[in-house]
Structure 1
Amino acid sequence: MSGIDVGNGVVGAILGVVFATLFQQWTQDVWFRIRRRSAGVVRSLTFRAQDGPACSTFSLGPLHTSALIVEGDGDRAIAAESIHVQVLDGEVALPDDMADWHAEIEAEEARAREEGDRAPVWNGPRYAVESLEVSRTALDEQSEVHLRLRPTDYYTFLAAQQLDRRLPDGSTPRTRYLDPEQPLAAPAFLQCSFAVNVAVVTADHLLVVSRRSNRVRMAPGVWNSSVNEGLSRHIDSSGRNAPDLHAVARRGMREEMALEPNEYTLSLLAFVLDVHKRHWSAHFYARLTDMTGDRLRDRMGRGVADRWEHDSIEYVPFRSADVSRYLLRPDRIHRWAPLAPALFHLALVHVHGRASVERAEAQAVRRL
């Protein structure tokens, strides 16, 4: 090799080092920007291809529900004084082409009473949801919820639950009266259900999970919140007063778990809508102050007013990882009442914080 070749090699090596030093970072930055923009384009194309309503219902990996969280994120409670409930005059009326369904149910239950082949369903007074509107206070942006109700009855509720039954013109109540792009817009006669659901946690950090009895008319045999109680015009409205949602939750705690108000703290976390069945719910979290899981089991064993509504109770450690795994168990994932998983998620967030809960949920999903 000649001296010229050696010199050229040395000069080439030096220039290579210089160019690598000067342009390596720039080249990497350019390549990173190209990759990021390409990925962004792919994501945007994918998003447009899957575009849908702005509101999405609660899901956790393969667990999909029809629960739409309308207000509340679990992080901070909604104050009782921020809830304004108004009962409007005039009972809810079914449209003419659904009125016969109410008469069918009434006749069916009358036959059940006469023949005695099963326990009849009584036409109890209920409330229908005319509207639920949310605003914010001017100074601290706290929630302000305005709930407007109308009187209705249980047979109207049962008739309106036949959302996919054919009407004379071939349509159904779902296709005629509901717009999937506007999940909060619905006539009051299709929203004859408002309940409170409570996630109860014992003093030794156990979440109470109940299974609905096979004897109940709606959603028998599914796993549900600790306490579920529907608004009753007869019980929850004294005189002409509108119902108090916290009082309804306390009634449910007493009737389903034999617990008195001095034995727990109660926090309202959210308002949630089951968009498939049009059931509204106020989601609560209750923490027992001194009562452990064993003591609660003993208390309930001595008798509760509404034992017939549940046929099983389970206790789950109230840790994000344990509850997430429990929600995703193969024997549970398709047996949840639609509003229960969102309730338990919000309760976890309220106690443990959103970041911690979402990490645990993501890990539980990855391990499936």
Structure 2
Amino acid sequence: MNVDLVLRAVSRTMPAASRSRHLEQWRADVAGASGVGMRPGDVVRGAIAVALTADRDAPALTGEPRGAAPRRLSRRGIALIAAIVAVLVSQWLTGDAGSSGSGIPSALELVLAAAHSVLGVLAFIGALVAVALFAGAAALSRSVAARIAFVVTAAGVAVLTFGWGSAISAEIAAAVVGLTLAGAAVGLAAAWRAMPLVLERRSAPLRRRRPIALAGLAAVAALLGLGAVDTLVWNPLAKVPGWGLDAIYAAMIERDRFEPAVAVAFVAVWAGVWLAVAIAVTAVALGPRGAWLTPRRLGILYLAVIGAALFLRLFSGFGIGMSIADSFAATGGQVSAASLIFDVVGPVSVAVALLLFGWAPAGRVAPYARAGAA
């Protein structure tokens, strides 16, 4: 048996702040075991016993105030579930978007189908991780109410995950969803009430903020430009195959009294509003008072802007979409290749923003505070 490999594996189960310390101690015990009449296997068994019985919420092990661990786990679980819901709801809303298009390239169709399949698999794995996170929060919580609530939440997520594809009735599904949401709300309230919320001041120098800010602004501007062109040009061409853009617009004006200037104005307002938001975020990030916008926070903001803008693009193109539907008996949805790509990019951006929000860096306490709290 490779004793050092086993000890490294056991140390990985300990809280991150104390892993190296425990591994160093166990290695020292193995080195001196023969001098006190012990075998290396005895040290391994002792290490496993420590890992199984350790108080994983103790500040001496976590480097955090007591109560921070269950709160962090529950926050991550909530963020993960919210990200999964954002992706699944988007897929449900746009599931048949490509059924009436003019025929997107087969390669792109395969890529989009693969992307949706991958998102489905990731959603399933994420749900299992969320169950583990809520179970961990229940195990570490000192409040009985929080423990019960997080157990209910974990059980509800598990039931919904494995019952999603089965013949579960709508009434049962609604009841499970209600219990899960109630459990999460009660658990969060109990966990967050157990320890006052203390926001840790974090900052980032300009050299770390600048590339994220400029890349985020460029990404938002590019997506807004492509979205505007898609709404006014590519999507109409995809809905009415065989027609030129001028002919499509002329037919809508004649048959439906369509006003191109109004459609352009709606799209311009949509793009202008979100571009202004992105510019404002960038200006703050690059300014002297933008140190609080760490790369993680900037990522959350830009991804949220992208997700919200791509979702609200549906409303900016509502008028032209309905005019096409009335004039050509076509679908009112957006079916171009770019639209189908946006249907993936938008919810994924929101999901990643939620995950970044949930996976906030863990707070730390000073060494003297660890010793005192232990």
What TM-score do you get using the length of structure 2 for normalisation? Answer: 0.22
Structure with more strand by fraction:
1
Structure with more helix by fraction:
2
**Greater radius of gyration (CA):** 1
